[in-house]
Structure 1
Amino acid sequence: MSVGKRILGLIALSLMLALWGSYVYLFQENRDGQLGGVFDSTAWCGTPPASDAAALGKDRLTLRITNNVHGDFMLSGVVIVSERTFDRYDLGRNELRLRLEPLPWSYSVTPVFLEQVSIKPLSRNLSSLNKSAYADFEPRPIGVQGRATDFPFDTYRYGYKPVLYYLKGNERVDLKFKHITTSMEMSNTFTPIQKYNRAEYIGEKSVLVREEDYKPYTANECAFSVERKGSFKVIVWLLLLVICLPLLHVFYRDEPGIDFLATLVGVGAIRVVLLGPLNDFQLYKIDFLFAAAILLVGTVSLIKAMRANSRRELALKSGSSW
């Protein structure tokens, strides 16, 4: 056996050991079908979710932010209005609305675009013990700061101040709710991290940082970042190592076989599992790694096929067995 093939064999052995090590790590991290603990993918800000404000018939706004493995974020929620607020603002006739005022994500950028959230008509329940009316939000996608193309190292930020209001003619009347809760229920591939002040949320080193930037956000402001879990990054690394197996095999063999086909099938399957099918030719950075693996295996296979064909032609001309 040549020195090159011995080196390839050692690399393949190291690769298999790495695959087994990653498998053991993921097996230990898996808890009840989750990557990590049950609460590793959840967080909240504002009024604690266990508050009894709703049971006491108080005004309450609850927002629920979810996402999927591909980083698409959705907003839903519910609003509970006390009898006193319902009568004071005549919400039986005035349509209740919600806007999300974005918090600054950079010292050099001042956000001006507000996100409007549709609220279904209030359902009156004023005859109950807690004397309230309630309504659900129309679920809608929300725009976050971050780039999905950085997968699997993509991080996202989202910060906002929710304000309930209604229109009185051309005048906008804001309602002041004390009990506002945001519940973040992320995919188990993500970890949400609450940010407590402007400096922590922006996370930039700048001369524009002032002392008031370290003051905590108010109860009706919420900011958080979302990062990929380390265990999920291990899964991605594990699948990328699997692609290396046909790549090593094509170098080890004297003649090309089905290595190129195996690489195509493997890359296609892994790409669909991690990112889903190609949508409108939106390319991620990891796609260029997939393309490089396909091109490398295809190039080596082609070169080896050409060499094998040349040896075969020389053997036919010389009349010897090649």
Structure 2
Amino acid sequence: MNAGKKILGLTAMLLMLTLWASYFYVIKENRDGQLGGAGESTAWCGTPPSTEAALLGKDQLTLRVTNNLRGEFMLSGSLVVSERTFNRYDLGRNELRLRLEPLQWSYGVTPIFLEQVKVQPLSRNLASPTKSAYAELEPRPIGVQGQVTEFPFDTYRYGYKPVLYYLKGSERIDLRFKNITTLMDMSNTFTPIQKYNRVEYINEKNSMIRDEDYKAYGPHECAFSVERKGSFKVVVLLLLLVLCLPLLHVFYRDEPGVDFLATLVVIAVVRVVLVGPVQDFQLYNIDFLFGAAILLVGSVSLIKAMRANSRREMALKSGATSSW
């Protein structure tokens, strides 16, 4: 066995050991179909989650932030308005609105665009002892700071201050709610991490940092960093290493045949499992790795096929010459 075959065999052994190690790691991290504990994908900020405020008819705003594998974030929630607040601001006639004021995400940048969230009409429950009013927030996508194309190393930042208000002519009247809770209910692959001040949230080494940037956020300001779980990154690594199997077959076989088709099928399956089908030709960084694997397998297969064809032609010519 020559040196090239020995190196190839050693590489194949290391690949198989890594595949099995990653496989058993994922099995260990599996808990009722979740990568890690269910609580690792949830978090909250603001007023502690409780049903007491709703039962007592107190003013309460609950926001729920969710996302999917593609990094798209959605906001929904509910609202409870006490009878006192309802009558004080005449919310039977004045339409209640909600705006999300983004927190500063970079030094030297002042956010000016607000997220407007539609509040459904308030429904009063006059038969209840509290006589409070209730409304749902209309679900809508929200903007976060992050690049989805960096999958699986993509991270996102969410930072807003929710403010309820209504319009009285051209004047904007803000309502002061004490109970505001933001629930981060992320998908299985993400972990939300709360940030407590501007330095932690922006996370930039910059000479513009001031002492006031270390000041804690207010009770209604909510800032999170959403990162991929380490176990999910191992799953991605495991699937990417599977792509190496057809490539090794190409190097081992003298006349590769179906290896190129096998590579195309494996890449298509892995791509759909990880990030779904291509939409509007939006390419992720990982897609260039898939493209390199296709080109490499296709090039090696083609070169070996050309060499095999040349050997056959030489054998035919030598056979024809010897027959004379």
1:257 aligns with 2:261: no
Structure 1 residue 215, shift from structure 2 partner: 1.1
Aligned-partner SS, 1:106: coil
Q: Distance in 2 between matches of 1:4 and 1:254?
A: 14
1:207 aligns with 2:207: yes
1:100 aligns with 2:100: yes
Q: Distance in 2 between matches of 1:215 and 1:124?
A: 40
1:229 aligns with 2:245: no
Matches within 5 A, 1:174-253: 174-253=174-253
Structure 1 residue 76, shift from structure 2 partner: 0.1
One-letter identity of the residue aligned with 2:169: G
1:166 aligns with 2:166: yes
One-letter identity of the residue aligned with 2:28: Q
- Tell me the residue number matched to 1:21: 21
1:309 aligns with 2:304: no
- Tell me the residue number matched to 2:111: 111
One-letter identity of the residue aligned with 1:107: Y
- Tell me the residue number matched to 1:39: 39
One-letter identity of the residue aligned with 2:309: N
Structure 1 residue 204, shift from structure 2 partner: 0.9
- Tell me the residue number matched to 2:153: 153
Aligned-partner SS, 1:176: coil
Structure 1 residue 259, shift from structure 2 partner: 0.6
Structure 1 residue 143, shift from structure 2 partner: 0.8
Contact 1:119 1:136 survives alignment (8 Å): yes
Aligned-partner SS, 1:119: coil
One-letter identity of the residue aligned with 1:219: P
Deviates more, 1:123-132 or 1:300-309: 123-132
One-letter identity of the residue aligned with 2:267: V
Q: Distance in 2 between matches of 1:49 and 1:126?
A: 25
Structure 1 residue 5, shift from structure 2 partner: 2.0
Structure 1 residue 51, shift from structure 2 partner: 5.8
Aligned-partner SS, 1:62: strand
Contact 1:83 1:126 survives alignment (8 Å): no
Q: Distance in 1 between matches of 2:317 and 2:33?
A: 63
Structure 1 residue 7, shift from structure 2 partner: 2.1
- Tell me the residue number matched to 2:129: 129
- Tell me the residue number matched to 1:278: 278
* TM-score using structure 2 length: 0.97
Contact 1:150 1:284 survives alignment (8 Å): yes
Q: Distance in 1 between matches of 2:12 and 2:110?
A: 52
Q: Distance in 2 between matches of 1:31 and 1:308?
A: 50
- Tell me the residue number matched to 2:318: 318
- Tell me the residue number matched to 2:4: 4
1:142 aligns with 2:142: yes
Deviations 1:22-63 (A, max 9, x none): 111111111111100120000000000026222221100000
Percent of paired sites with the same residue:
76
Q: Distance in 2 between matches of 1:168 and 1:130?
A: 27
1:65 aligns with 2:51: no
Deviations 1:117-161 (A, max 9, x none): 001100001331232101001100011000000000000001010
- Tell me the residue number matched to 1:289: 289
One-letter identity of the residue aligned with 2:137: F
One-letter identity of the residue aligned with 1:123: S
Q: Distance in 2 between matches of 1:210 and 1:177?
A: 30
Contact 1:161 1:221 survives alignment (8 Å): yes
Deviates more, 1:308-317 or 1:208-217: 208-217
Structure 1 residue 6, shift from structure 2 partner: 2.6
Deviations 1:249-308 (A, max 9, x none): 101111121110000000011001101111110000000000000000000001001100
- Tell me the residue number matched to 1:80: 80
Unmatched runs of 5 consecutive residues or more in structure 1: none
Aligned-partner SS, 1:158: strand
Deviates more, 1:176-185 or 1:122-131: 122-131
One-letter identity of the residue aligned with 1:227: E
Unmatched runs of 5 consecutive residues or more in structure 2: none
- Tell me the residue number matched to 1:90: 90
Deviations 1:52-104 (A, max 9, x none): 22222110000000001111100000010000000000000110000000000
Q: Distance in 2 between matches of 1:129 and 1:82?
A: 11
Deviates more, 1:271-280 or 1:47-56: 47-56
Aligned-partner SS, 1:113: coil
Aligned-partner SS, 2:38: coil
